[in-house]
């Protein structure tokens, strides 16, 4: 048997020798397994030179064209973790999506393949079709592999999925984007939960070209979860159990969720609260107006005055009235 600590140490050694994965991981969104919630984490840019591996993971089952240039870095990154299955899926984009997993996660691949086209359609229904709609999606086979593939995002075992993207250039489509699922995600959230995670992460991919580093998390995470949940039939308390508990105890959010609240043990509450703010805005002003607000406010860090100006310009309201309306909306859903 392999000693896990030795195996992990070996991985670290392998990755310290081969720094290739660091090349594009300048932004990552993280979906937690606890509370189906998510953080957008901004990572420092690592502009180090690429070190290309010579080995690529063996492809043992595929419907894909192995000459697809997007597959090469995936095979290189997954090479230490064993053979892979690769599927190329036409899901509405100008090119096909790539789905990759090890044979141990063949069922995850089946679920993702089945859910991909409707998920892309769902994201496009709210955001629009102005994104490539051809994601590269990887299911990690083991926790060690997940950590290795997402380590630049600072992930832990509680993270269900990560969207890794390239650096932000306003108005341009990032060239390197990859969604990575935790090997335990489907076991812990089920097939429907996996589909929700997929829609959430796809929303980050779709909106990346309009999302600047430092954008307010209540908006970027709230919007991704709003899109993920929209029209799926889940109840308020199913989507936001922690928030529901606090509402029933008479505790209302008094301001939009601060970025600092998205880390730590109370993170699920932050994500749920962010979702509720976006769900309220879509309910009150319409999904298109919510999207317009996203496009205006997600370009980078926003101070209070800039946010207030956006509320006035896009929503025709003040922060105080917006908060009053949100609180009243929440009271009506506390059950």
Nearer to Zn ion, 109 or 219 (CB): 219
* Cα angle 72-156-177, degrees, rounded to a multiple of 5: 30
Stretch touching Zn ion by CB under 5 A, among 222-230, 257-265, 278-286, 312-320 = 222-230
- What is the closest distance, in whole angstroms, from the C-beta atom of residue 251 to Zn ion in the complex? 24
Nearer to Zn ion, 136 or 163 (CB): 163
Helix (H) or strand (E) holding 8: helix 4-17
Q: Which residue is nearest to Zn ion (CB)?
A: 38
Stretch touching Zn ion by CB under 5 A, among 1-9, 37-45, 111-119, 289-297 = 37-45
Helix (H, G, I), strand (E, B), or coil: what is residue 321?
helix
The interface mask with Zn ion, positions 162-201, x = CB under 5 A, is ----------------------------------------
Residues 150 and 185 sit within 8 Å (Cβ to Cβ): no
- What is the closest distance, in whole angstroms, from the C-beta atom of residue 270 to Zn ion in the complex? 12
Phi-psi region of 158 (alpha: psi -120 to 50; beta: other; left: phi over 0): alpha
Strand-strand pairing, 97-101 and 136-139: parallel
Nearer to Zn ion, 29 or 126 (CB): 29
Stretch touching Zn ion by CB under 5 A, among 34-42, 243-251, 253-261, 321-329 = 34-42
Stretch touching Zn ion by CB under 5 A, among 38-46, 64-72, 186-194, 228-236 = 38-46
- What is the closest distance, in whole angstroms, from the C-beta atom of residue 164 to Zn ion in the complex? 12
Stretch touching Zn ion by CB under 5 A, among 29-37, 129-137, 248-256, 325-333 = 29-37
The residue assigned the tokens 């359609």 is 121
Nearer to Zn ion, 29 or 150 (CB): 29
- What is the closest distance, in whole angstroms, from the C-beta atom of residue 201 to Zn ion in the complex? 7
Q: H helices of 128-258, where?
A: 143-150, 185-207, 217-229, 236-239, 241-248
- What is the closest distance, in whole angstroms, from the C-beta atom of residue 207 to Zn ion in the complex? 10
130/122 Cα distance (integer angstroms): 13
> Which residues 6+ apart lie within 8 Å of 136 measured at CB?
70, 74, 97, 98, 100, 177, 178, 179
Stretch touching Zn ion by CB under 5 A, among 23-31, 121-129, 208-216, 284-292 = 23-31
Residues 138 and 181 sit within 8 Å (Cβ to Cβ): yes
Binding test (CB under 5 A) with Zn ion, winner from 86, 99, 136, 224:
224
Footprint (CB under 5 A) of Zn ion, residues 262-321: none
30/276 Cα distance (integer angstroms): 18
29 contacts Zn ion (rule: CB under 5 A) = yes
Bridge partners of residue 159, in order along the sequence? 32
Q: What count of other Cβ atoms lies within 10 Å of the Cβ of residue 175?
A: 12
Q: Which residues bind Zn ion (CB under 5 A)?
A: 29, 38, 221, 224
């Amino acid at each position: 048997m392999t000693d896990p600590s030795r195996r992990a140490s070996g991985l670290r050694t392998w990755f310290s020798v081969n720094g290739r994965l660091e090349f594009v991981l300048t932004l990552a969104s993280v979906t937690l397994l606890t509370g189906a919630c998510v953080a957008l984490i901004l990572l420092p840019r690592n502009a180090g030179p690429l070190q290309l591996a010579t080995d690529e993971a063996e492809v043992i089952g595929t419907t894909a064209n192995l000459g697809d240039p997007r597959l090469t870095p995936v095979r290189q990154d997954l090479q230490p973790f064993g053979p892979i299955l690769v599927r190329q899926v036409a899901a509405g984009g100008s090119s096909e999506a790539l789905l990759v997993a090890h044979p141990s996660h063949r069922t995850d691949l089946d679920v993702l393949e089945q859910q991909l086209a409707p998920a892309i359609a769902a994201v496009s229904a709210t955001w629009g079709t102005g994104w490539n709609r051809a994601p590269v999606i990887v299911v990690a086979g083991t926790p060690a592999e997940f950590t290795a593939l997402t380590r630049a995002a600072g992930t832990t075992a509680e993270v269900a999925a990560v969207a890794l993207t390239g650096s932000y250039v306003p108005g341009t489509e990032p060239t390197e984007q990859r969604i990575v699922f935790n090997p335990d995600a489907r076991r812990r959230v089920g097939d429907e939960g996996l589909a929700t995670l997929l829609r959430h992460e796809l929303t980050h991919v779709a909106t990346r070209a309009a999302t600047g580093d430092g954008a307010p998390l209540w908006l970027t995470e709230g919007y991704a979860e709003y899109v993920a949940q929209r029209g799926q039939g889940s109840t308020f308390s199913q989507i936001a159990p922690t928030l529901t508990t606090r509402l029933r105890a008479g505790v209302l959010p008094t301001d939009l969720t601060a970025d600092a609240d998205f880390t730590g043990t109370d993170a699920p509450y932050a994500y749920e609260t962010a979702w509720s703010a976006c769900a309220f805005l879509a309910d009150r002003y319409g999904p298109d107006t919510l999207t317009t607000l996203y496009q205006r406010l997600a370009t980078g860090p926003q101070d209070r005055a800039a946010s207030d100006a956006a509320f006035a310009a896009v929503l025709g309201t003040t922060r105080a009235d917006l908060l009053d309306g949100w609180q009243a909306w929440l009271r009506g859903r506390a059950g």
